[in-house]
Amino acid sequence: MNGHTMSWRIAKASIIGTGHIGANMPCQDSHYVMQIGDIMIAAVSDGLGSAAHSEVGSKIASEQAVTHIANYFDSLKPPKKRFQWWPFPDKPEPKTQPQPDTLETVCRTAFTVARDAVGVRATAEHKELRDFACTLLVAVVTPNDWVVMHIGDGAVVGIFDNETTRTLSTPDNGEFINVTMPLTSNDYLTHLRFSHKAEALRGVALMSDGVQPMCINYKTGEAYDGFFRPIIQWLRTLDLADTDVSMQKLLDTPRFRQKSDDDMTLVLALRES
């Protein structure tokens, strides 16, 4: 980025599943990532196959949730020095330290904001909210702590020193593999799983359910190191301009395609050492 040192090295891709191509469906997965200084905010959303416009729902939900949280961190920055005609600021200077309580509130509100934004689109198009049904996973990583929020399936994996991993949020399936609880359900807040921990992460991975079979143990929910370690090491070697294209190529390999014919999303974010 033109000589700026970025704090994060990120590879991200959503690719359409072969099952969706065959059924003439669009890619219903979406993802969205923002960096505010050394803070990274990422979302992955999987539009439900049974909902007619879920690819729109997943796009709006992931963008709105991340943007809402990013705006909060933006507001903490000291104001930019600029030339003023009037030497006295007319607004009080904002606080510069994130308050833990406020961070949690902002993160939770992000889900309501995301759902409302999907609702606005549904109303504008004279459609039902459930036509836009999607899951939503959000991870916020600051230098000292992380917040993970999750409704539906998919998973979030934390990356620690020496490329070790630990699942931070496991998939929430219904009784059957083809049922999951969406953001658009009425009681979405009771299904929202929220974790906040004062723990430093080296990185984080977010995925839709299409990537789960490869790397999240069905029985224990544990992350599979044999999957993550090579990808982490690989991402560290990539030219920053190529990371997203490379991730897309990786997901599109026959081995991945054979394991899942669903849409696949993987967002991998590593702190630059």
What are the residues binding another protein (CB under 8 A)?
17, 19-20, 48-51, 133, 153, 173, 175-180, 182, 209, 213-220, 224, 226-227, 230-231, 233-234, 238, 242, 245-246, 249-250, 253, 255, 259, 261-262
Q: By C-beta, is 90 or 239 nearer to another protein?
A: 239
Least distance to another protein, CB of residue 112, Å: 22
Least distance to another protein, CB of residue 22, Å: 9
If DSSP codes are grouped into helix, strand and coil, which group holds residue 137?
A: strand
Q: By C-beta, is 196 or 229 nearer to another protein?
A: 229
Least distance to another protein, CB of residue 231, Å: 5
Q: By C-beta, is 133 or 137 nearer to another protein?
A: 133
Least distance to another protein, CB of residue 232, Å: 9
Least distance to another protein, CB of residue 207, Å: 13
Q: By C-beta, is 34 or 214 nearer to another protein?
A: 214
Which residues are paired to 9 by β-bridges? 270
Residue 40 host element (H or E): strand 39-46
- Residue partners of 166: CB distance under 8 A and separation at least 6: 157, 158, 160, 223
Q: By C-beta, is 106 or 250 nearer to another protein?
A: 250
Q: In degrees rounded to 5, what are phi and psi of residue 203?
A: -175, 180
Task: Dump the DSSP string for 43-88.
Answer: EEEEB-TTSTTHHHHHHHHHHHHHHHHHHHHHHHSPPPP---SSSS
Q: Residues 65, 110: contact at Cβ < 8 Å?
A: yes
Dihedral angle computed from the Cα positions of residues 229, 39, 183 and 136, in that order, rounded to the nearest 10 degrees = -20
